[in-house]
Amino acid sequence: MRAVSVSAAVALAASIGAWAVDPTQLPDPALQARYEALTHELRCMQCQNESLADSPVDLAADLRRQVRDLLLAGKSDEEVRGWMAARYGDFILFRPRYSLRNAWLWGAPAALLLVGALVSWRVVRQRTTLLATDQAPLEEDGQA
Amino acid sequence: MNRFLLPLGLFVLLAVVLGIGILHAPEKGIIASPLLGKPAPQFSLPDLTEPRRLVRSADLRGRWYLFNVWGTWCAECRAEHGTLLRVQREGVLPLIGLDWKDDESQAREWLTRLGNPYQAVAVDASGRAAIDWGVYGAPETFLIDPQGIVVYKHVGALTEDIWSREILPRVSAARAGKS
């Protein structure tokens, strides 16, 4: 009975594998994990909102093959990302990298927060001085 | 007066930043190639019409050429074929084709039937050369200068307009500057 359920589980797992877009299996589990992580964070350039791992188009399969070959050749994750970006541009990376060109984008939230703090500080200070001058006698208001 | 200065300044700054963004926004869906201004990828691939001969990027050094990625499975390639033939007839520069993941006999038949605008067609059966060129959809056309640098890239069917407005001026300007 146990053997039956185990073989059923194996058959089920195998059929799930067959349904997936990408049936690639690398010899080493650690390499396989890196392969899966990388194909999920690289963009399919033909269907631009899908990752390489999820896309059924031909080009995505070709690019997955490149990722596999590069990993088997002993390249690091960063080298694979660089290899792809050199050909397709940073657009292929779902997780953008820091660079001098986009530094202002990364810094913008902090800069805006600073501006906001500065403005609220000034407003509060102005209100306080207004309140102080408001203590003047009321008759003057009536004369104006 | 002074209290309006800061918000006004911020508004103008924001308007300028967004304005630059809008003016420089790339055409929707067109991704700028990182190859522009860089050396064209090296390749050495079998010739479509003479499979025993190789089409090599090294042999193309020292002259301008258009590198055109196509396939018989690609409808837009059929649409641009007339333009390619006219470009070839003008004789300004040679066309080098890259037959991308295609049926070779169908590709040969296509050239016999529609006319062959290419000086040579390299066969990229595995799709690896196309990836080196950052191709993501045929047709794509690259302009390469005599130093082997990618000067311009067009994604989609090549038109008379693109040829006379974007490609021809670049070649003529460089040739005029040299003589």
Angle between helix A29-41 and A58-72 (nearest 10) = 140
Helix or strand or coil: residue A121?
A: helix
Cβ atoms of B129 and B98 within 8 Å: the answer is: yes
A2: in domain: no
Are residues A36 and A63 located together in one domain of the fold?
yes
A7: in domain: no
Beta strands B95-100 and B150-155 are unpaired
Please tell me the CATH code under which domain B35-178 is placed.
3.40.30.10
Number of helical H runs and strand E runs in chain B: 6, 7
CATH of the domain at A35: 1.10.8.640
Positive or negative, the Cα torsion across B60, B65, B69, B74?
A: negative
Are residues A68 and A35 located together in one domain of the fold?
yes
CA nearest neighbour of B102 among B125, B79, B130: B125
Mean pLDDT comparison of A12-26, B110-124, B164-178, highest-scoring range: B110-124
Chain A closest-CA separation from residue B73 CA (Å): 13
A11: in domain: no
**B10/A contact by beta carbon, under 8 A:** yes
Taking all residues of chain A, what is their mean pLDDT, rounded to a whole number? 83
Find all residues with CB under 8 Å of B99, minimum gap 6, and list them: B48, B70, B71, B107, B121, B122, B123, B124
A8: in domain: no
Which chain B residue shows the shortest CA-CA distance from A83?
A: B132
Are residues A88 and A111 located together in one domain of the fold?
no
Are residues A115 and A86 located together in one domain of the fold?
no
Cβ neighbours around B137 below 10 Å, total: 16
Are residues A86 and A110 located together in one domain of the fold?
no
Which chain B residue shows the shortest CA-CA distance from A118?
A: B6
Average pLDDT over residues B97-112: 96
Q: Which two structure tokens, joined as six digits, stand for B132?
A: 């080196």
Number of domains in chain A: 2
Average pLDDT over residues B73-100: 96
Q: Which two structure tokens, joined as six digits, stand for B172?
A: 């003529």
Contacts B6 to A, Cβ<8 Å:
119, 122
Could you give the percent of chain A with pLDDT greater than 90?
A: 50
CA nearest neighbour of B69 among B43, B92, B105, B91: B43
Report pLDDT for A117.
Answer: 96
A6, pLDDT greater than 90: no
Q: pTM for the whole thing?
A: 0.77
Are residues A38 and A63 located together in one domain of the fold?
yes
Report pLDDT for A139.
Answer: 58
Domain that holds residue A68: 21-92
Contacts A112 to B, Cβ<8 Å:
none
Report pLDDT for A10.
Answer: 54
Chain A closest-CA separation from residue B127 CA (Å): 7
A124, pLDDT greater than 60: yes
Number of cross-chain residue pairs from A and B with Cβ atoms under 8 Å apart: 42
**B174/A contact by beta carbon, under 8 A:** no
Are residues A79 and A54 located together in one domain of the fold?
yes
Are residues A35 and A76 located together in one domain of the fold?
yes
